[in-house]
């Protein structure tokens, strides 16, 4: 398979990148965060993974290329080797697809792809812990927590809001994963899944990862969680504003309805989804009071109501494209 140079182009690579030695490619999508991108790369270099790991940076801003330029300069002196590509089509699904495709093409002995975002920092042992969990459990895909780090310490109270909570709290096999911000995927999964890996229909609403995991599960692939393999996610203060939390909660509901529609299309499927959404709406006051009591936050208590509303809005075709304007996300 050859890269489509209209949509993917190589910007640079380490001068002494030994492609045949690489077993794990760490794919790192970026969009207009050059300073934090360098911090992410520094955290990856600190893992001391050796020649068996390489980083693939995917700049999704083909116009300005701030990330590509910053990463290219970083690679000149870094112990961690890798390459920088440009994903010319805007959207996070396009960026992920470009990185995964490039890794498969570039590293003939590739065994796993790991993913970290450009607003995250790898913790010590991150890569090794994901891999060991995969070996121990036999899972094809292993995820880990994205621990929030708020830019203002006074915002720590928001940590208990559901949108910032990990989906699992114990290491071991799990039914499925939901986020691509911290995950390791075996090559067998990528070899088996149809291209594009992530459906571009989810580019600006999110959920392409959840849809990918659902399809991978349908093909018999298995999942695990590694609670010790955390990444630290830097959160700007705007992500604690009600408008952002409301939009994210509504979006979560919409994504769940959209994915269920793909699994169960047709009139009967829609009736089942509507019934589930209405049931969630009716249950949301009681669930909300419990959430409020547990977190001490009335805003967090609205989460279940917002998810139910988001599901119903999606049935009417009203889906918030929260990633359409990354600067405000």
Domain that holds residue 309: 242-328
pLDDT computed for residue 320 by the predictor: 80
Average pLDDT over the chain, rounded to an integer: 95
CB-count exposure of residue 124 (10 Å: 0-12, 13-18, 19+): exposed
Helix (H, G, I), strand (E, B) or coil at 268: helix
Cα end-to-end span (Å), the chain:
35
Residues 202 and 319 in one domain: no
Note the pTM of the prediction, 2 decimals. 0.94
Residue 2 lies in a domain: no
Q: Hey, what are 3's tokens?
A: 């890269």
pLDDT range class, residue 324, cuts 50, 70, 90: confident
d(CA 172, CA 155): 31
- Tell me: do 293 and 219 sit in the same domain: no
Find the CATH number of the domain harbouring 24: 3.90.550.10
Residue 245 backbone dihedrals phi, psi, to 5 degrees? -65, -40
Q: How far is CA 27 from the centre of its chain?
A: 11
**pLDDT of res. 327:** 67
Q: Are residues 93 and 189 part of one domain?
A: yes
**pLDDT value of residue 207:** 94
Dihedral of alpha carbons 315, 320, 324, 326, sign = negative
Let me know if residue 3 belongs to a domain: no
Quick check: 203 and 90 in contact, CB under 8 A? yes
- Does the pLDDT of residue 1 top 70, yes or no? no
What percent of the chain stands above pLDDT 70? 98
Q: Which residue has the higher pLDDT, 274 or 319?
A: 274
Closest CA to 100 of 91, 88, 81, 113: 113
Same domain, 221 and 252: no
Angstrom distance (rounded) from CA 275 to CA 265: 14
pLDDT tens sequence across 275-314: 999 999 999 999 999 999 999 999 999 999 999 999 999 9
Q: How far apart are CA 231 and CA 149, in angstroms?
A: 10
Which helix (H) or strand (E) segment holds residue 56: the answer is strand 53-59
- Tell me what the mean pLDDT of segment 194-203 comes to: 96
Instruction: State the Cα–Cα distance between residues 84 and 78, nearest whole angstrom.
Output: 13
Residues 246 and 232 placed together within one structural domain of the fold: no
Confidence band, pLDDT 50/70/90 cuts, at residue 151: confident
Examine the domain organization and report whether 193 and 271 are in the same domain: no
Residue 321 binned pLDDT confidence (cut-offs 50, 70, 90): confident
90 domain-assigned? yes
**Quick one: 67 and 112 in the same domain?**
yes
Q: Which residue has the tokens 């039914």?
A: 175
Contact predicate 181/69, CB 8 Å = no
Task: Please report which residue ranges of 48-125 form alpha helices under DSSP H.
Answer: 66-75, 92-106
Is 84 within a domain?
A: yes
Q: In this predicted model, which residue has the larger pLDDT, 152 or 121?
A: 121
Q: Report how many domains make up the chain.
A: 2
In a domain, 141, yes or no: yes
* DSSP per-residue codes, 269-318: HHHHHHHHHHHHHHHHHHHHHHHHHHHS-HHHHTHHHHHHHHHHHHHTT-
- In this structure, the answer to whether residues 218 and 94 fall within a common structural domain is yes
Please report whether residue 156 resides in a domain. yes
226 and 249 within one domain: no
Provide the pLDDT confidence category of residue 323 given band limits of 50, 70 and 90.
confident
Kindly tell me the burial class for residue 159, based on how many C-beta atoms sit within 10 Å of its own C-beta (0-12, 13-18, 19 or more).
middle
Domain match, 152 and 263 both = no
224 and 271, same structural domain? Answer: no
For the stretch 231-241, pLDDT in tens is 999 999 999 99
CA dist., res. 105 & res. 25, Å (int) = 11
135 and 268 part of one domain: no
Nearest to 306 by CA among 238, 242, 247, 243: 247
DSSP secondary structure letters along 110-162:
--EEEEE-TTEEEPTTHHHHHHHHHHHH--SEEE--EEEEESSGGGGGGGGSG
Nearest CA-CA partner of 313 in 266, 277, 280, 284: 277
Do the domain assignments include residue 106? yes
Of the candidates 189, 210, 237, which is a domain's last residue?
A: 237
Closest CA to 114 of 32, 50, 27: 27
Last residue of a domain, one of 237, 262, 297: 237
In a domain, 120, yes or no: yes
Q: Write down which residue in 218, 237, 256 finishes a domain.
A: 237
Instruction: Give the separation between CA 289 and CA 328, rounded to whole angstroms.
Output: 30
> Over 90: is that where the pLDDT of 325 sits?
no
């Amino acid at each position: 398979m050859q890269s489509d140079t209209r949509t993917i182009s190589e910007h640079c690579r380490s001068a002494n990148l030994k492609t045949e030695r690489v077993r794990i490619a760490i794919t790192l999508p970026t969009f207009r965060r050059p300073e934090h991108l360098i911090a992410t790369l520094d955290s990856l270099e600190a893992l001391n993974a050796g020649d068996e790991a390489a980083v693939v940076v995917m700049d999704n801003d083909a116009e300005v290329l701030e990330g590509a330029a910053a990463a290219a300069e970083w690679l000149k002196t870094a112990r961690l080797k890798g390459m920088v590509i440009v994903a010319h089509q805007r959207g996070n699904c396009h960026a992920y697809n470009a990185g995964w495709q490039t890794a498969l093409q570039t590293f003939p002995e590739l065994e796993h792809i790991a993913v970290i975002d450009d607003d995250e920092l790898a913790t010590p042992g991150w890569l090794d812990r994901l891999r060991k969990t995969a070996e121990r459990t036999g899972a094809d895909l292993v995820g880990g927590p994205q621990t929030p780090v708020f830019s203002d310490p006074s915002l720590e109270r928001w940590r208990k809001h559901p949108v910032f909570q990990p989906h699992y709290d114990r290491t071991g096999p799990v039914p499925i994963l939901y986020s691509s911000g911290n995950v390791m995927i075996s090559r067998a999964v990528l070899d088996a899944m149809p291209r594009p890996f992530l459906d571009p229909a989810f580019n600006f609403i999110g959920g392409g990862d959840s849809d990918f995991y659902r399809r991978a599960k349908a093909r018999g692939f298995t999942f695990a969680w590694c609670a010790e393999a955390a990444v630290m996610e830097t959160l700007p203060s705007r992500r604690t504003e009600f408008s952002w939390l409301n939009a994210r909660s509504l979006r979560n509901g919409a994504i769940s309805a959209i994915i269920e529609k793909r699994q169960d299309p047709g009139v009967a499927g829609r009736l089942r989804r509507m019934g589930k959404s209405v049931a969630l709406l009716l249950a949301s006051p009681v669930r909300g009071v419990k959430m409020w009591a547990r977190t001490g936050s009335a805003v967090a208590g609205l989460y279940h109501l917002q998810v139910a509303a988001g599901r119903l809005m999606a049935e009417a075709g009203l889906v918030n494209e929260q990633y359409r304007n990354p600067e405000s996300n």
